[in-house]
């Protein structure tokens, strides 16, 4: 199995649109994962049929046993996050404020506070016409999205590890969710845009990716909106010995396909669809070459 992650240095570059189209065009059996767990939206384009859900137990939360609590208030005094509240004659912990530091368990003289796992999201296992999709929903405001990304990838590998390709729609940026996404992948395709911030964030995400040593490829979306910045990106990729495998023009058909909830390559021979087909063909060659080297 080849593991391919489609990522971006910033949001709004069209990463999910490219991922959805590639799921239609790349050959062989595949399993998909949406690792942008803070704002998963690949399902909006692929329209999967949900098979099952599993709870994701993230960070632990402090819980006070009222039968043991002596109402001394030490837990409230030492909580830096104001998570301990007075509830009548007792104390309780607000799960929305608790950061799981467990200081309250240390200072409590009656051992009335314990750390208990809390569900902070769900892992969803669905079926598309191109293979299974593993995606997730994180509880709003919940932390540990990097752990949830790891759980999504693990679920996909355990259930569909015999597929030819593991196609991942990754998160934007360079934080913990991205690191969890690109860990163990063979190839990353960075989708960028022709802007000053696009080039800046491309450089940042490539710096992070190089620590994990995958094959790094780049595609420029809406390249014709700023020819100068697109040229700057091409020059930088050339100097960094990074292969630019695709340039996608601005195309209203992309907007219409998103509104319709389908990949742009399903809507006809639009300029963007044709460019993504060329991108997919170039990517297929790179994946075949990588597979032959193993």
Full set of structural domains in the chain with CATH: 2-57+121-293 (3.40.50.300), 59-119 (3.30.70.20)
The reported pLDDT for the residue numbered 216 is: 98
pLDDT tens digits, residue range 174-224? 999 999 999 999 999 999 999 999 999 999 999 999 999 999 999 999 999
Number of H helices, E strands in the chain: 10, 11
Those residues whose C-beta lies under 8 Å from the C-beta of residue 144, and which sit 6 or more positions away, are: 58, 59, 120
The reported pLDDT for the residue numbered 180 is: 96
pLDDT tens digits, residue range 65-107? 999 999 999 999 999 999 999 888 789 999 888 989 999 999 9
Composition of the chain by helix, strand, coil, percent to 5 = 40, 30, 30
pLDDT tens digits, residue range 163-174? 999 999 999 999
pTM over 0.85: yes
Report, as an integer, the average pLDDT of 275-283.
97
Beta bridge partners of 247: 220
Cα 236 versus chain centre, distance: 26
What is the 3-state secondary structure of 269-294?
CCHHHHHHHHHHHHHHHHHHHHHHHC
Radius of gyration of the chain (CA): 23
* Sheet strands (E) in the chain: 2-8, 30-34, 49-64, 84-87, 90-93, 113-128, 131-138, 165-172, 187-192, 215-221, 243-248
**How confident is residue 225, by pLDDT bands cut at 50, 70 and 90?**
very high
C-alpha 203/C-alpha 197 separation (Å) is: 10
């Amino acid at each position: 199995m080849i593991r391919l992650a489609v990522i971006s240095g910033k949001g709004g570059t069209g990463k999910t649109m490219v991922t959805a189209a590639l799921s239609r065009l790349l050959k062989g059996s595949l399993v998909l994962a949406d690792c942008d767990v803070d704002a998963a939206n690949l399902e909006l384009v692929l329209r999967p049929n949900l098979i099952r859900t599993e709870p994701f137990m993230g960070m632990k939360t402090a819980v006070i046993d009222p039968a043991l609590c002596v109402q001394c208030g030490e837990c409230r005094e030492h909580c830096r996050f104001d998570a301990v509240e007075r509830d009548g004659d007792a104390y309780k912990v607000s799960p929305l404020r608790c950061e799981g530091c467990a200081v309250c368990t240390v200072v409590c003289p009656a051992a009335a506070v314990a750390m208990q796992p809390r569900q902070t999201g769900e892992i969803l296992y669905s079926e598309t016409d191109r293979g299974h999709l593993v995606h997730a929903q994180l509880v709003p405001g919940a932390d540990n999205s990097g752990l949830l990304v790891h759980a999504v990838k693990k679920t996909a590998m355990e259930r569909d590890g015999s597929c030819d390709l593991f196609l991942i729609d990754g998160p934007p940026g360079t934080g913990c969710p991205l690191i969890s996404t690109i860990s163990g992948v063979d190839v990353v395709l960075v989708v960028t845009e022709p802007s000053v911030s696009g080039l800046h964030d491309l450089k940042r995400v490539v710096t992070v990716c190089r620590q994990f040593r995958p094959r790094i490829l780049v595609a420029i979306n809406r390249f014709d909106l700023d020819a100068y910045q697109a040229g700057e990106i091409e020059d930088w990729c050339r100097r960094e010995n990074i292969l630019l495998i695709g340039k996608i023009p601005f195309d209203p058909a992309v907007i219409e396909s998103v509104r319709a909830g389908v990949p742009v390559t399903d809507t006809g021979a639009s300029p963007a669809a044709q460019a993504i087909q060329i991108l997919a063909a170039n990517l297929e060659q790179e994946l075949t070459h990588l597979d032959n080297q193993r």
